[in-house]
A and B are shown apart, each in its own frame.
With several copies, the nearest count.
Chain A
Amino acid sequence: MTTAQVQVPEPRIPEWTGFDGLVQLISVDGQRTVGCPYWELVADVDAEGLRGLYRDMAIVRRLDAEAMALQRQGELALWAPLLGQEAAQVGSARALRPDDFVFPSYREHGVAYCRGVDPVAMLRLWRGAGLSGWDPAVHGIATPAIVVGSQALHATGYALGVVADGADSAVLTYFGDGATSEGDIAEAFGFAASYVVPVVFFCQNNQWAISEPVRVQSHASIAQRGQGYGIPGIQVDGNDVLAVLAATRLALARASAGQGPTLIEAVTYRMGPHTTSDDPTRYRSPAEDEEWRVKDPLARLSSLLHAEGLADDGFNEEVGVAADEAAAALRQGVLAMPDPEPARLFENVYAEPHSLLQDERDAYAAYLAEFDEEA
């Protein structure tokens, strides 16, 4: 017999059965969806709450645009824009409690903003004036992880520490669709599930890993990536700030209730280039950009606010002013940022004295001195 001819049931790939597919609370045209139980999770979000979410997104978008401009003007070495991902970042970050902890990748400027990090401090890394810009302990958010996937393991270990401390805080870690292919992400899933730790894996599926569409990473939905590890997944409309808030609240609640890890896939779109060094025209079509432009997370919430009379032109005016002020402050702070002193190079490599490093530091100082004399 040739086994290929045999008619037996194929081993079935189970359909994704998280909460009936995509969690969406606000439709693309700004209407509230009905009947979704996730509404209960954001029942407390009143008019002011909605306006606050919009304000956050508008300011974050404006800061992102200013950073882009600063890079184009040569004030930053590089910038990884979040344009289009404001709802995914603000919605998830606003679900956090102060004592929760965040492990971001390199694109979560909106999350850092919600954690109270000074935007000027964020740009220190991108200007090349330092390797990071803030104190993780103060803001409850680690500094950016550039090695794709590495931070998910740090989050899992940190969450293990939370359990050991007997605390009930949760840990939220961000990564992209491309990152899901890295072994470190899989190992983080494995450790988190094995130890049942309070970590939420938040994947912003912005459809692209630089030039590679998400199907290069996976033919299955990313929300389903955790299933084999026993990690439930939620697929949420990443451009719907309310849905993201609800889903993240649910996942964080499960975490701090001791129910273990959850994977959230926020379906969104990277409206800009991967970074300022990238040229998306080489690999994706204007049609695709257009298709997503109509799903813009800010426009969506704005139309809801206006349709329901929760915001007027005065509000837009006020938000615009706040955003411009934030942008101006960012520009001012960046331009005033000093370059690192040579001596700084040798600091904070080690906590304790290090003979070799001390010799090198002294030799280089002597060299610079000698050099100045000559000049």
Chain B
Amino acid sequence: MPTMSLGKALNNGLRRAMEDDAKVVLMGEDIGKLGGVFRVTEGLQRDFGDRRVIDTPLAESGVIGTAVGLAMRGYRPVCEIQFDGFVYPAFDQIVSQVAKMRYRNEGRVAMPLTIRIPFGGGVGAVEHHSESPEAYFAHTAGLRVVTPSNAADGFHMIQQAITSDDPVVFFEPKRRYWEKGEVDEEAPCTDDPLRRAAVLTEGNDVTIAAYGPMVATALDAARIGAAEGTSIEVIDLRSLSPIDFETMEASVRKTGRLVVAHEASVFCGLGAEIAARISERCFFHLEAPVRRVGGFATPYPASRAERHFLPDADRILHEVDRCLRP
């Protein structure tokens, strides 16, 4: 089975989606000749032409708003937002148009849009290039929100997102673009990564729920924990809206403990929804309160301080300990 980086897997997934459906068009800033600042669209304009891989003027609301019109004309636009911090100018078109168009038109209009957003920190970037805005979109009815944590999921999930008739906000963990994994491009995708969470390591003491860039960190924590004699079950959510609570509930009923980790600020972050729902669904099974580890109630700091903002394996294990000894 070929090994490739997450970035390359997404590139191959996009290529496959464009081959499978001539209505798939890519739009965004610098996605053509440059192949995007992360090269995720590399070579696609060369091979599919500038009618299907479109460099747009520098205006995010314009990118999403025109994609809405293209979708109404029967196309499947895949929009790239260059960095997490630059999706906000398009927030109105996403929240009031993309998310509500089908509902407004009682199903007569479809919005099969995919909005790709490289997100998260850890790459030593300047301001606005390390944000984790997923909660804004998860709280917005009408959107689906997903994020792959590895190459194989990236390859399959981007294709599932594009073929979905619902709008999908597709977060790509930018600091993991270069991490390699095995991808079987020929085998059909059996499990349903766009909708179901994945149990990556089985464990009995504590469950760690993570997604996107934090999954690798959670796995590190599990390894260290194992060495220290703590058996940790790591769950990769993959879908952030809706969330596969069945998988998580089953795990927590077994372990009795849950730590949720994400980069976004903890306050009103996705961890809040997970903690709230699991505290309710597992009320009589929880041995300790659900613990959340994530960003602080501060804007994303200067890159030379980001290691303090970003949860690492130690901070996750610190919460694991608090679950074990409440």
Residues of A within 8 A of B (CB): 77-78, 103, 106, 125-132, 135-137, 142-143, 146-148, 150, 152-162, 164-165, 178-179, 181-184, 187-188, 190-191, 194, 209-212, 216-217, 277, 279, 282-283, 339-340, 342, 344-352, 354-357, 360-361, 364, 367, 370-371
Residues in B with CB closer than 8 Å to A106 are 126
Binding-face segment, B181-189, B208-216, B228-236, B296-304:
B296-304
Does residue B315 face the partner (Cβ distance < 8 Å to A)?
Answer: yes
Check B107 against A348 for contact (C-beta < 8 Å).
Answer: yes
> How far does the alpha carbon of A342 sit from the alpha carbon of B296 in the complex, in Å?
12
> How far does the alpha carbon of A164 sit from the alpha carbon of B67 in the complex, in Å?
13
Residues in B with CB closer than 8 Å to A154 are 65-66, 68-69, 72, 97
Partner of A156, one of B51, B69, B75, B144: B69
Check A352 against B166 for contact (C-beta < 8 Å).
Answer: yes
Binding-face segment, B27-35, B150-158, B253-261, B282-290:
B27-35
Partner of B34, one of A78, A143, A211, A361: A211
Check A147 against B97 for contact (C-beta < 8 Å).
Answer: yes
Q: Mark B25-56, 1 if CB is under 8 A from A, else 0.
A: 10001101111010000000000000100011
Partner of A282, one of B33, B70, B107, B195: B33
> How far does the alpha carbon of A165 sit from the alpha carbon of B25 in the complex, in Å?
13
Check B33 against A125 for contact (C-beta < 8 Å).
Answer: no
Check B57 against A194 for contact (C-beta < 8 Å).
Answer: yes
Residues in A with CB closer than 8 Å to B128 are 146-147
Check B124 against A150 for contact (C-beta < 8 Å).
Answer: no
Closest residue of chain A to B110 (Cβ to Cβ) is: A351
Residues in A with CB closer than 8 Å to B35 are 282
A348 and B103 in contact, given A153-B69, A153-B93, A210-B34 (Cβ under 8 angstroms): yes
Check A131 against B73 for contact (C-beta < 8 Å).
Answer: no
Q: Which of B132-187 contact A (CB under 8 A)?
A: 141-142, 144, 164-166
Chain B nearest Cβ from A126, distance in angstroms: 7
Chain A nearest Cβ from B108, distance in angstroms: 5
Check A147 against B92 for contact (C-beta < 8 Å).
Answer: yes
> How far does the alpha carbon of A342 sit from the alpha carbon of B287 in the complex, in Å?
33
Residues in A with CB closer than 8 Å to B25 are 164
Partner of B105, one of A132, A160, A354: A132
Partner of A210, one of B30, B73, B266: B30
A349 and B102 in contact, given A130-B302, A356-B267 (Cβ under 8 angstroms): yes
Beyond contacts A135-B108, A157-B71, A349-B141: 17 other A-B pairs, Cβ-Cβ < 8 A, are A78-B125, A125-B302, A131-B127, A131-B299, A136-B109, A146-B126, A147-B85, A147-B97, A154-B97, A158-B69, A187-B57, A191-B59, A342-B308, A355-B195, A357-B297, A360-B296, A364-B296
> How far does the alpha carbon of A164 sit from the alpha carbon of B304 in the complex, in Å?
41
Residues of B within 8 A of A (CB): 25, 29-30, 32-35, 37, 51, 55-59, 61-62, 64-75, 77, 85-86, 89, 92-93, 96-97, 102-110, 112, 124-128, 141-142, 144, 164-166, 195, 241-246, 266-267, 296-299, 301-305, 308-309, 314-315, 318
Check B51 against A217 for contact (C-beta < 8 Å).
Answer: no
> How far does the alpha carbon of A217 sit from the alpha carbon of B33 in the complex, in Å?
16
Q: List 20 A-B contacts (CB under 8 A).
A: A131-B106, A131-B301, A131-B302, A156-B62, A157-B65, A157-B73, A164-B51, A181-B57, A182-B59, A183-B59, A184-B92, A187-B57, A190-B62, A210-B34, A211-B34, A212-B29, A340-B305, A350-B166, A357-B297, A364-B296
Check B302 against A158 for contact (C-beta < 8 Å).
Answer: no
Check B303 against A136 for contact (C-beta < 8 Å).
Answer: no
Check A125 against B126 for contact (C-beta < 8 Å).
Answer: yes
A345 and B89 in contact, given A132-B105, A153-B61, A153-B68 (Cβ under 8 angstroms): no
Check B67 against A157 for contact (C-beta < 8 Å).
Answer: yes
Check B96 against A347 for contact (C-beta < 8 Å).
Answer: no
> How far does the alpha carbon of A209 sit from the alpha carbon of B95 in the complex, in Å?
24
